[in-house]
Structure 1
Amino acid sequence: MERRKVDVAVIGTGTAGMVAYKAARKHTDNLVVIEGERYGTTCARVGCMPSKLLIAAAEVAHQVAGADMFGIHAEHVSIDGKAVMARVRRERDRFVGGVLETVDGFPAEHRLQGMARFIDDHRLMVDEKLEVEAGRIVIATGSRPNVPDFLQVAGDRLLVNDSVFELENLPDSVAVFGPGIIGLELGQALSRLGVRVRMFGVSGNLGGIRDDAIRQYALETFNQEFPLDPSAQVNRVERTDKGVRVTFTDKPKGKSPSEVSEDFDYLLAATGRRANVDHLDIQNTGIELDERGTPIFDHYTLRCSKDHIFIAGDANKDVPLLHEATDEGRIAGDNAGRYPDIRSGMRRAPLSVVFTDPQIAVMGLTLDQVKERCKGYYGVGEVSFEDQGRSRVIGKNRGLLKVYGERGSGLFLGAEMFGPAAEHIGHLLAWAAQKHMTVTEMLDMPFYHPMIEEGVRTALRDLNYKLNIDPQMIDRALECGPGA
């Protein structure tokens, strides 16, 4: 049995793992990074980038199909499914290649290939061949698709976001389970590329939208393109000779519910992701776990209950976004490297974007968090984009934006949006939240005409009108920030 002793061991070479390795290496050169499967991040290989490539193709097809609105009459749109998927894979592989080059740049003695598991608090077994004793350990093992048992019957016709991009051609039809971020993005893209799509949900969730009015507005909008029931009653899922059959209770407006069966080529399970911690033998450590079996950790230091073990990225199931994984990897790796000098890292204002059309964005505090913080002393401003000037000009006048502020201080706290250019507006509002700006200060900023951002000004004016502003409260808010 080969044995090795290091200062720091990082398990996983995804986004969080690579950043953790680089951060820890600033403090010690006696470290290893361990990868159990293929190198390449979730984002580059099966997540952010290939999904946006598919969405980009769908947006072009949708724009051409909708050109009649502008008096431009295009010929019948012909979609070459093989060419679409070939470009997705080709460009995806370029992004993955960049990640592989980064890993190849790590010294060979720092890279270990094999599945790691805990023997105890400080020792790891790698592929039953190598024992690594580490002074500190960073868990950055990422996540994988979580598919409920009743969908497994789809067998070889079951797709997840890890496999959908390997299709050589676009299918004729897909049943999508899970109208969360992944399901909505891929489902709408496939629909706009000519695939017959029906989407099923269970809990009523829709892209993580918290506000009831915005959720309903989004639901009505998506249903104009493809059938979507976020609270579906699915009775059976069966594998057929040609694909998958889904039997569900149809609930058409104004009619009695009835059981309906519909056949699809494939079933896409976008039913969430599961942290890759269940094969690490964490029970052999003293780490405290939550009810899901995920290590309990400190949000600002990424330290687990065993203070020399850290967890970062999708593995901790906190905020599964790339920019958060980057921040967490840096904090965890830095603390592992400088241990026992543990320091709190900066956590940025929350920001999430769903790349549907219209887009969904949540920034700063959610409405529930605002209610808890302000104990009723808050205001909500809003704007509809249906009559917003620039949105009407470009034919994207669907959407709602709600902004939240604290009464008395006038402090801007957060926002939620379903509408055009939400990816850009989301950044502006997240920056404002992180800088602890007041609504008045935000309204003092320039708004160019004609821009979609003018809708933000309308919402802020509405919020400003509803807030009771006291100059002394503004001073206190600026000193304490939104977490005060």
Structure 2
Amino acid sequence: MPELLRPDICVIGAGSGGLSVAAAAAAFGVPVVVVEKGAMGGECLNTGCVPSKALLAAAGHAAAARTAARFGIGDGAPTIDFAKVRAHVRAVIAAIAPNDSIARFTGLGVKVIAGTARFAGPDTVAVGGRFIVKARRFVIATGSRPAVPAIPGLADVPFLTNETIFDLDECPRHLAVIGAGPVGLELAQAFRRLGAAVTVIEQAAPLAKDDPECAAVVLAALAREGVDLRFGQAVTSVSATADSIRLTIGDGEGAASILASHVLVAAGRRAQFADLDLERAGVRHGPEGIVVDRGLRTSNRRVYAIGDVIGGARFTHAANHQAGLVIRNALFRLPVRYDPDAVPWATYTDPELAQAGLTEAEARRRGHRIKVLRWPYHDNDRAQAEGETSGHIKVITTRHGRILGATIVGARAGELIALWGLAVSRRLPIRAVAGLVFAYPTLGEIGRRAAISSFLPGLTHPLVRRIITWMRRLG
């Protein structure tokens, strides 16, 4: 007979979001069960954020070696041992894994079950024939999986996704990347810097969710490094040759072919919930994932869903933020409202591209009358000292100065965007940033200079000039 468990909260999925719920609930002494059919830590730890950033760090050192001569250092010829690069990636995963391990969560008082969870009713989940879980609340955090486009012949060749590319023993001779979103472009630049020839094919707009003016700076940098960018073109077929994979782009007389050693599919992600039997729990879902309200509750009031499985902003930090909201509501009955506009994001190419709040296009689409403020990296002393002068900040405010959003493209944009995320979430006016004191010299001053530029037109206003004249006469 299966063992019956009656926790307060049952979390399905042990990725970042699910584990955040479990850890927080356990800290308050609440009985928690976590069910995970795969690896603890989910996609972020094992095949996503962590390994990709470790690979990018290695690639960044190779790029730094090539350009060190401008600082009077080195001969610009890095030696790349791909086996050691792979070992570095694995070591980073191994270093972080204990934070997400069964041992740690068991120590916190969480019961972790390895297996596939399936709803057997509105308040019941079965895990194989071993456990029946009847919980007061359920949290679905099963994440997403790579979306594989229906390209003729693709299924017949050994293509890669983010789930398999970090297992490569050797650097690809020629990597063809299908998709020019953050994942595709990050890995394209990393493998190019590690010695691969790289071609990126994208049928639609690259970095489509980002500000196109700022995205163009990233694309120009990749092109300068030798990444072959093919935008507005579709892969119409894929086939194997004797020693390569042939990708046909376009059709008819305009068709072209690319011979690659490896193909990476980075064409987006799809919510993962097919084996949950959601219908038995009365949980609605759609093309983007499980349907939730602003409080992250599903159509079954006992069930919440967070993270990639609900679509929208598919970021680890978004899932962690949502986890905190669920804890507030489920344990303390506090009203919560998830605001996707308050979630920043970053693409970790070089230069980095980061966004908080609304882009210019989105602000206009929502009917705001806006001001656009800019400031370039090349006018910043720290950027000049470090040779990181490519990029700029772009800030969007209302006509009255409330900050609606900011885009930063340039060195350490992912770190710099935090200030602007705070400004958006707290509905701060631009004068709040203009009045901040930044340490000198730091890249953060770029944002302050953009904020100050909001007030420059007023300095030449005739009334302001007359006031200054009167004040001078008063001594």
Q: TM > 0.5 between the two?
A: yes
2:174 corresponding residue in structure 1: 173
2:357 corresponding residue in structure 1: 364
2:104 corresponding residue in structure 1: 102
CA separation of 1:414 and 1:75: change in aligned 2, threshold 3 A = closer
Segment drifting more, 327-336 vs 422-431: 327-336
SS in 1 for 2:176: strand
Deviations 1:324-350 (CA, angstroms, capped at 9, x unpaired): 211212322443445xx3531676832
SS in 2 for 1:54: helix
SS in 2 for 1:279: helix
Structure 1 segments unaligned to the other structure (5+ residues): 251-256, 469-484
Instruction: Write the distance in 2 (CA, Å) between the matches of 1:170 and 1:141.
Output: 31
Instruction: Write the distance in 1 (CA, Å) between the matches of 2:92 and 2:215.
Output: 33
In the alignment, which of 317, 328, 331 is matched to residue 322 of structure 2? 328
Q: Alpha-carbon deviation of 1:111?
A: 2.2
SS in 1 for 2:285: coil
Amino acid at match of 1:261: S
SS in 1 for 2:274: coil
1:221 corresponding residue in structure 2: 221
Instruction: Write the distance in 2 (CA, Å) between the matches of 1:291 and 1:117.
Output: 20
Q: 2:464 aligned with 1:463, yes or no?
A: no
1:479 corresponding residue in structure 2: none
Q: Alpha-carbon deviation of 1:355?
A: 0.8
Amino acid at match of 1:281: D
Instruction: Write the distance in 2 (CA, Å) between the matches of 1:62 and 1:114.
Output: 43
The 5-angstrom pairing of residues 73-84 of structure 1 reads: 73-74=74-75, 76-84=77-85
CA separation of 1:403 and 1:426: change in aligned 2, threshold 3 A = same
2:399 corresponding residue in structure 1: 407
Deviations 1:306-330 (CA, angstroms, capped at 9, x unpaired): 2111011222123222222112123
2:177–2:201: 8 Å Cα contact kept in structure 1?
yes
In the alignment, which of 303, 306, 323 is matched to residue 309 of structure 1? 303
Deviations 1:197-246 (CA, angstroms, capped at 9, x unpaired): 1111122132631x332233332332222111232232321123323111
Segment drifting more, 375-384 vs 389-398: 389-398
1:146 corresponding residue in structure 2: 147
Q: 2:190 aligned with 1:189, yes or no?
A: yes
Amino acid at match of 2:423: A
1:287 corresponding residue in structure 2: 283
CA separation of 1:151 and 1:328: change in aligned 2, threshold 3 A = farther
Instruction: Write the distance in 2 (CA, Å) between the matches of 1:372 and 1:417.
Output: 20
CA separation of 1:347 and 1:63: change in aligned 2, threshold 3 A = same
Instruction: Write the distance in 1 (CA, Å) between the matches of 2:408 and 2:26.
Output: 40
2:291 corresponding residue in structure 1: 296
Q: Alpha-carbon deviation of 1:460?
A: 2.0
Instruction: Write the distance in 2 (CA, Å) between the matches of 1:156 and 1:82.
Output: 24
2:118–2:127: 8 Å Cα contact kept in structure 1?
yes
CA separation of 1:115 and 1:403: change in aligned 2, threshold 3 A = same
1:202–1:231: 8 Å Cα contact kept in structure 2?
yes
CA separation of 1:376 and 1:116: change in aligned 2, threshold 3 A = closer
2:382 corresponding residue in structure 1: 390
Q: Alpha-carbon deviation of 1:455?
A: 2.5
Instruction: Write the distance in 1 (CA, Å) between the matches of 2:78 and 2:24.
Output: 49
1:381–1:466: 8 Å Cα contact kept in structure 2?
no
Instruction: Write the distance in 2 (CA, Å) between the matches of 1:467 and 1:203.
Output: 42
1:361–1:418: 8 Å Cα contact kept in structure 2?
yes
Instruction: Write the distance in 1 (CA, Å) between the matches of 2:377 and 2:262.
Output: 36
Q: Alpha-carbon deviation of 1:357?
A: 0.4
1:4 corresponding residue in structure 2: 4
Instruction: Write the distance in 1 (CA, Å) between the matches of 2:156 and 2:87.
Output: 24
Q: Alpha-carbon deviation of 1:27?
A: 6.2
2:58 corresponding residue in structure 1: 57
Q: Alpha-carbon deviation of 1:399?
A: 1.4
Instruction: Write the distance in 2 (CA, Å) between the matches of 1:458 and 1:30.
Output: 50
Amino acid at match of 1:102: R
SS in 2 for 1:149: coil
SS in 2 for 1:262: strand
Instruction: Write the distance in 1 (CA, Å) between the matches of 2:453 and 2:344.
Output: 22
Q: 2:345 aligned with 1:352, yes or no?
A: yes
Instruction: Write the distance in 2 (CA, Å) between the matches of 1:200 and 1:228.
Output: 6
Segment drifting more, 442-451 vs 310-319: 442-451
Instruction: Write the distance in 1 (CA, Å) between the matches of 2:363 and 2:229.
Output: 30
Deviations 1:381-439 (CA, angstroms, capped at 9, x unpaired): 1123345443233222211321011112x212211122122122211222232333221
Deviations 1:105-154 (CA, angstroms, capped at 9, x unpaired): 2547x222211111221122212443333332111111111111327726
How many residue pairs match? The answer is 454
CA separation of 1:56 and 1:207: change in aligned 2, threshold 3 A = farther
The 5-angstrom pairing of residues 409-424 of structure 1 reads: 410-424=401-415
CA separation of 1:331 and 1:448: change in aligned 2, threshold 3 A = closer
Instruction: Write the distance in 1 (CA, Å) between the matches of 2:415 and 2:205.
Output: 27
2:176–2:198: 8 Å Cα contact kept in structure 1?
yes
CA separation of 1:447 and 1:119: change in aligned 2, threshold 3 A = same
Instruction: Write the distance in 2 (CA, Å) between the matches of 1:113 and 1:334.
Output: 27
TM-score, normalising length: structure 2:
0.87
2:175–2:264: 8 Å Cα contact kept in structure 1?
yes
1:261 corresponding residue in structure 2: 257
Instruction: Write the distance in 1 (CA, Å) between the matches of 2:278 and 2:330.
Output: 18
Amino acid at match of 2:75: A
Amino acid at match of 1:398: S
The 5-angstrom pairing of residues 88-167 of structure 1 reads: 88-100=89-101, 101-107=103-109, 110-150=111-151, 153=154, 155=156, 157-167=158-168
Segment drifting more, 381-390 vs 306-315: 381-390
Instruction: Write the distance in 2 (CA, Å) between the matches of 1:105 and 1:360.
Output: 39
Instruction: Write the distance in 2 (CA, Å) between the matches of 1:130 and 1:58.
Output: 46
Q: 2:424 aligned with 1:433, yes or no?
A: yes
2:23–2:105: 8 Å Cα contact kept in structure 1?
no
TM-score, normalising length: structure 1:
0.86
Higher relative contact order (Cα pairs below 8 Å, separated by 6+ residues): 1
SS in 2 for 1:381: strand
1:157–1:243: 8 Å Cα contact kept in structure 2?
no
Identity across matched positions, percent: 30
1:381–1:402: 8 Å Cα contact kept in structure 2?
yes
CA separation of 1:89 and 1:465: change in aligned 2, threshold 3 A = same
2:472 corresponding residue in structure 1: none
CA separation of 1:358 and 1:432: change in aligned 2, threshold 3 A = same
1:472 corresponding residue in structure 2: none
